[in-house]
Amino acid sequence: MSKGILYRIAGPVVVAKGIKPRMYDVCRVGNENLMGEVIQIEGEKTIIQVYEDTSGIKPGEPVVNTSEPLKVELGPGMLGNIYDGIQRPLPVLIKQMGDFIKRGVDAPGLDIGKKWEFKATAKKGEDVSGGSIVGEVEENPGIVHKILIFPNQKGRIDELKSGKFTVNEVIGKLDNGFELRLKHNWPVRLARPVSAKLKPEVPLITGQRVFDALFPLAKGGVAAIPGPFGAGKTVSQQQLAKWSDADIIVYVGCGERGNEMTEVLTEFPELTDPRSGRPLMNRTVLIANTSNMPVAAREASVYTGVTIAEYFRDMGYSVALMADSTSRWAEAMREISSRLEEMPGEEGYPAYLSTRLAQFYERAGRVIPLGTKKEGSVSIIGAVSPPGGDFSEPVTQSTLRVTKCFWALDAKLAQRRHFPSINWLTSYSLYSNALEPWHSKNVAPDWHSLAREIMGILQEEEKLLEIVQLVGSDALPDRQQLILQVARLIREVLLQQNAFHEIDTYCELRKTYLIMKSILHFSRLSSTALDGGMRVQQILTTKAKDRLSEVKFVKDHERLLDEINKQMEKELKV
């Protein structure tokens, strides 16, 4: 450790003299031991971003370099926990100081007093390398936490014992003298190594019809949800966190409003996991960094989140990371950049904005982890909050360059109470073709042809609506009036979904497929009836099609759809 003194202070950015650190070393700043990270070195001056409020500290106070980068503690006890941006557990801090976090307070990321039941799966004399699994701990009911060898270690197991241990106690040794513990530390800015990256060929099933049917996301894929204020970004993110078929959820509330974060913190522990029937919080890690918390910790929070996600991926789990929102993260970078007096780029953001965003999203992927044959994945879903809903601003554009799935939220749809307010004309997914074999094998061979047909009808409707605004729908040819009717059914039955209804909040793939099929069945029957001489008004007033919206809210949907399809055939028989 080297000691120096404070030379200059500009908000969360301070300058120290007299220490000789490396980039990204963690330093302790001032008499209160505030935590900071080296972000620039200029000769004998070291520029540090401090993760806490710097008001009241003054030049001449001591600065200590720990010679270690910012690391997170990885081990049993993370699931169900709530951390701030630098992995300090908030429930522990509340006990120490009440509702407001004081400065200079530290707490370990994992509970160092709790004993875990460790069951060794590797044997003495076995050769192991980085990422090899040596044993298991049942962290939460039904969730097995696998204990991994540190990524850059390898050797032969000299000793390994089962029993009850805290995270800091030695559970075994390698022949090179390296001690094995239930936890290990990892630098947040360094991606964890993997054996191989795989193609994104398996979908992340979200239970939200508009995503699963029209704009699917692959496991290990990256998606962006940009949208203006009030369009439903946070609810969409929360729906994905609740219902997606990932094994582990990491939710990063990055610079969000306190009341939104409170909603997540109070609602998640009460939610039931649809797969296991246990509390959803059992498989969730929450990182809360609200907009009134120090700006520098916000910049670190997404790295903390993605490192935790990679750790669970290395155990062979599929992980979904929600970053809400990356715009606030970019704003934190902009603020620190201006304090560093760097040359601003577009709209004042630093010139390296797109590089940082790409580095973050590149840590997603479906992989074969080190030391095992079992695959794991990290899927990243980042919300973007463009000011005034302007998608041409730098954060949205830089995000679009690196994400292959774009779920654009529309304020006009939200005003019309169409939720989720995903604009089907501006959204897209580049994973559709890669996922086609999976859908054909596991859901239905014609899944993708139905989805393409539905998108075609919605695009046709958009062209017709321009004419309708001029002359009214009655002036349109009969066939075009039918297209408008089918498009309305697609919007109201397939694309709209009630996040707060106990049945409609989640829709399995089979149900989504049957709804698509029934809507297109009506389209074909009505087209045939029109050719057979039936008047268009008679087709538009049939009762069966209006019953399709009931399907969303019933459990026995297959029986009801069967009944509706028979009624449609009867009513449209020529």
Higher pLDDT, residue 292 or 249 = 249
Mean pLDDT of 34-55: 91
Distance separating alpha carbons of residues 75 and 283, to the nearest angstrom: 14
**Mean pLDDT of all residues belonging to the chain:** 91
75 confidence band (pLDDT: 50, 70, 90): very high
Least confident piece of the model among 129-133, 297-301, 320-324, 537-541:
297-301
pLDDT single digits (tens) 120-146: 999 989 999 999 999 999 998 888 999
Residue type at position 498 = N
pLDDT above 70 as % of the chain: 99
220 confidence band (pLDDT: 50, 70, 90): very high
Asked if residue 404 lies in contact with residue 217, where contact means CB atoms within 8 angstroms, the answer is: no
Per-residue confidence (pLDDT) for residue 228, from 0 to 100:
86
Burial (CB count <10 Å: 0-12, 13-18, 19+), residue 477: exposed
Does the pLDDT at position 372 exceed 90? no
What's the 3-state SS for 208-228? Answer: CHHHHHHCCCECCCEEEEECC
Per-residue confidence (pLDDT) for residue 563, from 0 to 100:
94
pLDDT single digits (tens) 469-501: 888 878 888 999 999 999 999 999 999 999 889
Sheet holding 143-148, edge to edge: 143-148, 133-140, 116-120, 163-165
pLDDT single digits (tens) 504-531: 999 999 999 999 999 999 999 999 999 9
Which domains are present in the chain?
Answer: 2-69 (2.40.30.20), 111-187 (2.40.50.100), 195-431 (3.40.50.300), 447-571 (1.10.1140.10)
Per-residue confidence (pLDDT) for residue 285, from 0 to 100:
93
Beta-sheet pairing, 284-289 with 248-254: parallel
Whole-model pTM: value is 0.93
CA-angle at 213, arms to 460 and 509, nearest 5°: 145
Tally of residues, the chain = 574
255 confidence band (pLDDT: 50, 70, 90): confident
Closest to 431 in 3D by CA, of 101, 242, 254, 200: 200
Per-residue confidence (pLDDT) for residue 79, from 0 to 100:
93
pLDDT single digits (tens) 375-393: 999 999 999 989 888 889 9
Per-residue confidence (pLDDT) for residue 262, from 0 to 100:
77
Q: How many helices (H) and strands (E) does the chain have?
A: 15, 26
Task: Look at residue 168 and give its three-state secondary structure.
Answer: coil
